[in-house]
Structure 1
Amino acid sequence: MSRKPLVGITPDINDIAAPETEYVVRRNYADAVLYAGGIPVILPFGADVNAYLERIDGLLVTGGMFDIDPQLYRQTARKPYIMKPERTAFEKALIEGARAKNIPVLGICNGMQLLAVCLGGELIQDIPSEIEGAFEHKPAQSATITQHDVEIVSHSRHLSLSSGTTYVVNSVHHQSVLSSEGYDVLAVSPDSVVEALEAVDGGFAVGVQWHPEYGASQIDMAVWSGFLTAAQQYSSRAR
């Protein structure tokens, strides 16, 4: 019987002062991994990411209500942003280390944006002010409710998706990814916002801008299935 893959999940931290600071991560991230056939483990922030990378079979970089420092993608901040440098540095080191070892990486929302940065891409810092005619990508509604269409625009090496297919997804973001040579754009919304990407080479490295952990869209299971299949394959090769 094959061993279930171990998936490391990056948490956030709340703003309670030490020593009461807590790691926080929504349950549905872990539940989605469990449902798709993996074993989720939360990865506390630490300098030695190699200790994690030696044990996990997949890396899930979660979303969060904060922004990546624009200096990391060769830009200057155009307005004040809430940033979490400790978390971003930790996740960046994990992504880069996982890529070096061909450990599958799935980035969700902010996690997709950081994956893009690690692959050499840049970000649109604020969709409403930088994309003319863009619709609302951060609506005042629960992420259990779908918000807009995304169209699959290119073939994926790892996800079972058909080009030209359209899905309705949820949306909770105000920034987005620019095209780059380091990754293929897999999906876009009707207002041209990049909604999914995949590294052009190496192992599984996929980012989605929506939140598949809610299971609100028909595309979500394809994301989890592709990720866990890759993690299972990595586990089988590594051990």
Structure 2
Amino acid sequence: MTAPLIGLTTYREQARWGVWDQRADVLPTQYAAAVEATGGVPVLLPPVEQVGAADAVVRRLDGLVVSGGADVDPGRYDAEAHPRTAGWRPDRDAWELALLDAAAAAGLPVLGVCRGMQLMAVHAGGALDQHTPDVVGHEQHSPGGDAYGRVAVRTEPGTLVAGLVGETLEVSCHHHQSVATHPGWVAAARADDGTLEAMEVPGDRFCVAVQWHPETAADVGLLAGLVRAAASYAPSRHF
């Protein structure tokens, strides 16, 4: 059986490597490595403005990861920007929302990671808490810099997420925002402070989103679940 193709959305940032300092499409290697380790073939998806591009891409994919990154534009959920909300990327928001539209229409398996979860909630008509420390009173979810917070999470019994990662786990988080409302989604896991840490769409389709970074863990159960769903989805694709 051919390994399923898993699309990974990317950042478009100013970056430095070797002698170069210029705009680049980048993503931490851990995402692609985790997909490959679980039997998938990673395909990087930089923001594209061309009309119809998202539909064309989704027709060729077996699964999609909406990866982490900068804050979602608060205008997308009719909110004023919090003083700590910054750096949103309109091109990336538009591209990933178009991919989510196309993925929903096709029934494509999708996993959202960190910002990906937040964007998926906004895509469904939900809203975000723009600075989680204002809600929970601490910064454990994002301690600053390039350090991940270690957060204890409890999953909801009977959810797909619980079946993939178990009843409780400690996860790596790096989010100062979180999901406030999520129409059409089921809450699948919460941190001890009540922060929503995972959600999923009810039904047979693999459509899961988490606030933590499963690509950083030795146990990549969520990505393995996505790749398995993608392998099952692949024969049903129509060209």
SS of the residue aligned with 2:23?
Answer: coil
1:109 corresponds to:
114
Shift of 1:57: 0.5
Shift of 1:178: 1.7
Structure 1 residues 142 and 77, CA gap change in structure 2 (3 angstroms)? closer
1:181 corresponds to:
183
Distance 2:115 2:41 in 1: 22
The normalised TM-score by structure 2 is: 0.88
Shift of 1:156: 2.0
Moved more, 180-189 or 146-155: 146-155
> Of 120, 124, 139, which aligns to 2:125?
120
> Of 72, 76, 89, which aligns to 1:72?
76
1:5 corresponds to:
4
SS of the residue aligned with 1:207?
Answer: strand
Check conservation: 2:149, 2:174, Cα contact below 8 A. no
Q: Give 1 or 2: higher strand fraction.
A: 2
Structure 1, residues 58-97: CA drift from partner, whole Å, max 9, x if none? 0111101x21111212322232521111011101110111
1:139 corresponds to:
143
SS of the residue aligned with 2:126?
Answer: coil
Distance 1:208 1:60 in 2: 11
Distance 2:154 2:162 in 1: 14
Check conservation: 2:7, 2:45, Cα contact below 8 A. yes
Check conservation: 1:119, 1:199, Cα contact below 8 A. no
Check conservation: 2:155, 2:161, Cα contact below 8 A. no
Shift of 1:116: 1.2
Structure 1, residues 77-128: CA drift from partner, whole Å, max 9, x if none? 2325211110111011101110110011111000111111112221111011
Distance 1:209 1:106 in 2: 11
SS of the residue aligned with 2:141?
Answer: coil
Percent pairwise identity: 37
Shift of 1:210: 0.6
Check conservation: 1:154, 1:187, Cα contact below 8 A. no
Structure 1 residues 83 and 166, CA gap change in structure 2 (3 angstroms)? same
1:90 corresponds to:
95
Check conservation: 1:11, 1:25, Cα contact below 8 A. yes
For 1:226, give the aligned amino acid: G
For 1:229, give the aligned amino acid: R
> Of 100, 104, 108, which aligns to 1:99?
104
1:153 corresponds to:
156
Moved more, 30-39 or 68-77: 68-77
Q: Which runs of 5+ in 2 are unaligned?
A: 16-20
Check conservation: 2:38, 2:227, Cα contact below 8 A. yes
1:36 corresponds to:
38
Distance 1:21 1:178 in 2: 33
Distance 2:80 2:144 in 1: 28
The normalised TM-score by structure 1 is: 0.88
Check conservation: 1:57, 1:235, Cα contact below 8 A. yes
